[in-house]
Structure 1
């Protein structure tokens, strides 16, 4: 991430577990109807649920909106995919 990205605001706003609006979204890494993986200025963010679809994605202003039945948000630590033994070193 460059200095401009670090200064950009990252917000998550959810309305009734049906729509989530985000700022500070750099890219959509992968998605399907049950999970979105987004790269944000604050790290990777997983949005999980059912019937999920991208309502809006503005690459210039780094804003996104996802709709469907939202069940969870999870910021993914880069070490989460490593084994216990590799993390303890």
Structure 2
């Protein structure tokens, strides 16, 4: 198996609706204080809330941390968003 064939891990850790730490983040597509759109190894991910800011983004290790009041967390397929808890394969 080559390095290109190894699937990178994607983890999410939300602490007290105030911080979300992620691995497997490939890029930040857009962001403002109310929404982040991230490209992850598992697809596009929206983090919504208020007072959001990027605490940390490591492009080499593909890790990110966002702080603020987190109100929604969605994986996005195409133009429609699906809840993390309702997503099916």
Q: Would you say 1:19 and 2:14 are equivalent positions?
A: no
Normalized per residue, which structure has more strand? 2
Q: Equivalents in 2 of 1:35, 1:56: separation in Å?
A: 16
1:46–1:6 distance in 2 versus 1, CA, 3 Å: farther
2:53 maps to which residue? Answer: 53
Number of residue pairs matched by the alignment: 79
Moved over 2 A (4+): 3-6
Runs of 5+ unmatched residues, structure 1: 82-89
1:79 deviates by 5.2
The normalised TM-score by structure 2 is: 0.83
Unaligned runs of 5+ in 2: 82-89
SS of the aligned residue for 1:7 comes to coil
Alignment-derived partner of residue 42 in structure 1? 42
| Alpha carbons 1:22, 1:64 under 8 Å: kept | yes
- Residues 1:32 and 2:22 aligned together: no
Who is 1:9 aligned against? 9
Secondary structure at the aligned position of 2:13 is classed as: strand
The CA deviation at 1:78 is 1.7
1:26 and 1:32, CA in 2 relative to 1: closer, same or farther beyond 3 A? Answer: same
Larger radius of gyration: 1
